[in-house]
Amino acid sequence: MRKNNTIIRKLVAVTLSTIIGFTTIAIGQAPKAEAATASQANRIISIGDNYLGVPYRFGARSGITSAFDCSSFTQFVYKKVGIKLPRTSKSQSKVGYYVSRSNLKKGDLVFFRVGSGKSIAHVAIYAGNNKILHTYGAGGVKFSKLNSSHWSSHYVTARRVS
């Protein structure tokens, strides 16, 4: 009986130490992960901001900076911070994880349908303060208001990849 009690005490002590250790690690790393994400998101917006006014061209090749389409723009900007994205907006909408519209943070990818279509056909970068950074139509790369009647009514989903 005494031997069983000793084994049980040791088992409980080891288990509690392990739980406390993992909890301490998780708590200790959480602020660093948040800070890295915020820093990376600011970098993403800053990089994209450097291309304001670059013309929009549907089907623009990946990697060129003389013109972008929406997904070549996001692919290019995210690559600059070490995040590899697929080429199309529809494919990009499947990476990372879902974020509700009410929980958007700078650097999240935001997806829209175009016209009367139902499927995803446009991607933008959430820039904070209800603004998106993207390229679309006249004016090329620009900031737009997410809560404008057009973008708000065409909103589909958002993903966090940074």
85-116 pLDDT, tens digit per residue, is: 999 999 999 999 999 999 999 999 999 999 88
> Among all residues, which ones are annotated catalytic?
70, 122, 134
Q: What tokens does 66 get?
A: 């003389």
What is the model's pLDDT at position 16? 43
What is the model's pLDDT at position 10? 52
Domain 34-160 bears CATH identifier 3.40.250.10: no
Q: Where are the domains of the chain?
A: 34-160
Q: How many residues does the chain have?
A: 162
106-147 pLDDT, tens digit per residue, is: 999 999 999 888 899 999 999 999 999 999 999 999 999 999
Region 78-83: mean pLDDT is 96
Give yes or no for residue 15 having a pLDDT over 70. Answer: no
27-73 pLDDT, tens digit per residue, is: 444 444 445 578 999 999 999 999 999 999 999 999 999 999 999 99
